[in-house]
Amino acid sequence: MSVARYPLRSDVVKMNDRLHGTNILMLLDNPCDPDPRVEREASALAAAGANVRIVAWDRDTGNTETIDKQAFQIHRLPPSSTRKLGWKQFLYISKFCRNAWLYIRKDNISADIVYAHDVLMLPLAIFLAKKLKAKLVYDAHEIYFWMEAVRLPWMWRIAVKTIEAFCIARFVDLFVTVSQQRATDYWATVTKKKPVIVGNWYDPEDRDKAEARLKLGLEDGAKRVVAYVGGFSSNRRLGLLLELAVAAPEIHILIAGRGDENITRQIEAASRTSPNITYLGWQSDPKSILAAADCIYYMFDVGHPYCQFLAPNNLYQAIALNRYLISAGEGGRC
């Protein structure tokens, strides 16, 4: 089995024989379709001998399905929900937690390690770790307090931050985050428990740009290509890409992803009127799109408090593919 190398620290995976046969249950608040960080962590742990199962919340379709990957398994569960619900989203999260527990109990699933991805899965992970008598790993991809600074009330975010800090100190056996900047500038002010840094780094890839463009129906001529792959939200400043397409018709814009319905409609309309915009919808293989680009776009509203902490996958994919990057946050300093 060939699995891409992933720079897990020695204190996460010291020796293959320590994880051989270990059952790891990962909890994820998205359908993993895809989630590059989660999938690469799962692959690395599987390569070290562990049996990895991801229980994922399919909030987009509400389907129940099992996906067998080469190295691990994904089990998707409902309920479906819409976006931008604010605190009401917690009602749907509680339904997913109930469904996850019923699935685990019905199938008599055991775990030596419960692995929570982000704060929304942490309470469920604590419950399951106690029930299954397992160790608990918490991987903080995001900083919820700042990520939701615009959408949710300050007191609500303070409550989540306080609960998160308590849970890390009291229940978490291993705390993981994505960058030293976050560990130093944020987590050191929240908890005394030092996190293990597991970055979103990728091995360098020499993907042929001309071949990637040919697969997308683009001519490999002199025209420059700028690509965006990710979620659609007002914070991502995708309107700037649409403006660029009008101002610079010699540049071709590739956009792939999903999210805010209004933004999706704007992109679809722009792609119909501007021949230099290609809208590809949701793509399960982001690198096949990014490889076709000269420059990767991942901007964020610089006025948003979370901008300073951004560590997007696209930053590390741009480095791995040797492509230029337009970005802010951590990416803007690289």
Three-state DSSP at 244 gives: helix
Q: In terms of Cα–Cα distance, which of 160, 135, 163, 127 is closest to 146?
A: 160
Query: What secondary structure does DSSP assign to 184-207, as a single string?
Result: HHTGGGT-SSPPEE----------
Amino acid identity of residue 302, one-letter, is V
pLDDT tens for each residue of 26-78: 999 999 988 999 999 999 999 999 999 999 999 988 999 999 999 999 999 99
Q: How far apart are CA 181 and CA 174, in angstroms?
A: 19
Predicted pLDDT of residue 152: 87
Between CA 150 and CA 148 the distance in angstroms is: 6
Task: Give the C-alpha separation, 228 to 154, whole Å.
Answer: 31
Instruction: Indicate whether 89 pLDDT > 90.
Output: no
Alpha-carbon separation of residue 172 from 53, 117, 127, 248, 268 (angstroms): 19, 12, 12, 51, 44
Q: DSSP secondary structure string, 97-155?
A: HHHHHHHHHHTT---SEEEEESGGGHHHHHHHHHHHT-EEEEEE-S-HHHHTTTTS-HH
Residue showing tokens 């360098």: 204
- pLDDT tens for 90-111 read 899 999 999 999 999 999 999 9
* pLDDT category of residue 16 using cuts at 50, 70 and 90: low
pLDDT-based confidence at residue 333 (cuts at 50, 70, 90):
low
Q: pLDDT of 202-259, one tens digit each?
A: 889 999 999 999 999 987 666 899 999 999 998 899 999 999 999 999 999 999 999 8
Q: What is the per-residue pLDDT across 286-319, written as a single tens digit (0 to 9) for each? A: 899 999 999 999 988 888 899 888 878 888 999 9
Whether 265 shows a pLDDT value over 50: the answer reads: yes
Distances (CA, A) of 207 to 108, 284, 287, 288, 290: 43, 17, 9, 9, 10
pTM of this structure: 0.87
Q: How confident is the model at residue 285 (pLDDT cuts 50, 70, 90)?
A: confident
**What SS3 state is found at 164?**
helix
